[in-house]
């Protein structure tokens, strides 16, 4: 299996979190242009990590799904990361462990407030959150 670039891994994570996401929905989540995500989809499909399915409600649209190989690869990556971070956290003092937990809660709240969605709605259109409005105003740049 080839080594994956960061954007490829991020796309696989979006598809894992939102099975059946559209290319437009994934692009919104990744803050990338849909044609760039389409290129990533083609690359990942070619190496057997992503499966494209035609949307039954709109035969022109496709939905993205992980293959078993991709699911296994993500699970192995997550397990290795969990062991690494868990080991590092275990070496911190209780005070520092609590500070990390508190910071993560605050950061998660901040991300939810900024993103305000980003998933596909029931019709397959990308939902628009506050961050999407800013991205459109900046013409899609990743500032």
Cross-strand partners of 51: 65
Query: What tens digit of pLDDT does each residue of 22-69 get?
Result: 999 999 999 999 999 999 999 999 999 999 999 888 888 899 999 999
- Please give the pLDDT value at position 114: 85
Category of 51 on φ-ψ map: left (φ > 0), alpha (ψ -120 to 50) or beta:
beta
The token pair that represents 138 in the structure block: 């900046």
- Please give the pLDDT value at position 117: 53
- Please give the pLDDT value at position 143: 42
More confidently predicted of 84 and 142: 84
pTM for this one?
Answer: 0.67
Closest CA to 23 of 47, 48, 58: 58
* pLDDT above 70 as % of the chain: 80
């Amino acid at each position: 299996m080839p080594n994956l670039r960061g954007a490829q891994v991020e796309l696989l994570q979006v598809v894992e979190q939102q099975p059946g996401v559209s290319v437009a929905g994934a692009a919104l989540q990744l803050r990338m242009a849909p044609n760039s995500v389409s290129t990533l989809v083609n690359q990942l499909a070619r190496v057997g990590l992503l499966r494209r399915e035609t949307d039954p409600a709109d035969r022109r649209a496709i939905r993205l799904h992980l293959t078993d190989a991709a699911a296994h690869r993500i699970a192995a990556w997550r397990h290795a990361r969990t062991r690494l971070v868990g080991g590092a956290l275990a070496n911190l003092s209780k005070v520092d462990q609590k500070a990390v937990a508190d910071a993560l809660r605050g950061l998660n709240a901040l991300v939810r407030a900024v993103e305000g969605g980003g998933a596909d709605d029931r019709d397959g259109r990308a939902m628009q959150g506050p961050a999407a409005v800013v991205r459109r105003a900046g013409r899609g740049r990743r500032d």
